Amino acid sequence: MAEIAARTEVGLDHIWKEIDDLGLQLYIEQLDRDGFTVIPPEIANPNGLAERVLEACLDIAVRRNGERPDLENGNSQNPDSPVGDSLKAILLEDPVFEEALMNPALLAVSTHLCGYDVMLSSMNSQMKGPSNTKFLVHTDTRLPSPLPPQSLQCKCISALTDFDRERGCTAFVPGSHKWNRNPEGNETIMGEGGSVKTVPAEGAAGSLVIFHGSTWHGAYNRVVPGLRASLHLLMMRSILRMTEDFYDRIPKDMLERNSARFAILTQQAIIPAYIDKADEHAKVMRALKYTDAFEKESGIALPVKR
């Protein structure tokens, strides 16, 4: 039964071709088995993307906080936070973030998990220094248990500096995405006093960590000097409410220099709540403009035209 349902899923042939072309088969297998995967820089870091993203993030930190983070020896400004310091809402600040969103490996794997109507919900950068505060194990799907088996959303974490356990990388409970529930009690605690066994998502700078919305995860404390830098993209199915608002906020020239898929990814084809029939009509027509352009560009019909 599941196989028949899967074959009728929109764009399935396209996505398998993308996965094959990019050499991602093994990583998709790991993702489906363990709930997470780490794609190496050879595939996930075209044209030194991560290095350029890191530079742009450091520049934003200077603009916003007046100080350039010291990756070698610095501390978080917020050392009690397990996530360190966040730079939020950065997509519009530098064209390199458009490239980070359009990274073919990121899109292929996000589409495998969430379908061709997947959208960018938020993009932020994190810089984390040494800390003792425990990062609690959680899922990113903000629903009470039981969680649905399909991924409602997925998180893509681009490692901008090396990721390993002592440098405070992301931690996963392999296979937990199949348990369809959130961790509870001491399942949320890693290490002493906890009952979950986590594994580190290790990889050189330029690697891309991607995980299913129901995968239990947290992060290890950094125990060596300096900062771990990462870029986090939350990708969500289009029926959900997005974290950041890109609707009608993407400049025309940005839409023009990118593909029709970029407009879908940046929420241009959503239909926000309407107040009357005329408003509904206007919003549907606006959405259709972007949906049609995408369908023409890709030959892929989006699942629902609302």
Ligand X SMILES: O=C(O)CCC(=O)C(=O)O
Binding site for ligand X (CB under 6 A): 83, 126, 140, 155, 157, 170, 217, 219, 232
- Select from ligand X, Fe ion, none the partner in contact with residue 173, using the beta carbon and a kind-dependent cut-off of 5 to 8 Å: none
For Fe ion, give the closer residue by CB, 15 or 83: 83
Rounded to whole angstroms, how far apart are CA atoms 111 and 11? Answer: 9
- Select from Fe ion, ligand X, none the partner in contact with residue 124, using the beta carbon and a kind-dependent cut-off of 5 to 8 Å: none
Q: How far is the CB of 66 from ligand X (least distance, A)?
A: 24
* Burial classification of residue 165, based on how many CB atoms lie within 10 Å of its CB (0-12 exposed, 13-18 middle, 19 or more buried): middle
Contact residue for Fe ion among 18, 34, 85, 140 (CB under 5 A): 140
Size of the site for Fe ion (CB under 5 A): 1
Q: How many CB atoms lie within 10 A of CB 204?
A: 16
Q: How far is the CB of 206 from ligand X (least distance, A)?
A: 16
For ligand X, give the closer residue by CB, 138 or 286: 138
Q: Which of 165, 161, 164, 166 shows the shortest CA–CA distance to 227?
A: 161
Q: How far is the CB of 169 from Fe ion (least distance, A)?
A: 13
- Select from Fe ion, ligand X, none the partner in contact with residue 83, using the beta carbon and a kind-dependent cut-off of 5 to 8 Å: ligand X
Strands (E), 12-98: 36-39, 85-87
Rounded to whole angstroms, how far apart are CA atoms 37 and 21? Answer: 18
Q: How far is the CB of 170 from ligand X (least distance, A)?
A: 3
Query: Do residues 171 and 190 make contact, with C-beta atoms less than 8 angstroms apart?
Result: yes
- Residue 217 identity (one-letter amino acid): H
- Select from Fe ion, ligand X, none the partner in contact with residue 31, using the beta carbon and a kind-dependent cut-off of 5 to 8 Å: none
Rounded to whole angstroms, how far apart are CA atoms 293 and 33? Answer: 35
For ligand X, give the closer residue by CB, 235 or 293: 235
For ligand X, give the closer residue by CB, 45 or 170: 170
For Fe ion, give the closer residue by CB, 117 or 140: 140
* Burial classification of residue 270, based on how many CB atoms lie within 10 Å of its CB (0-12 exposed, 13-18 middle, 19 or more buried): buried
Site residues (vs Fe ion, CB under 5 A): 140
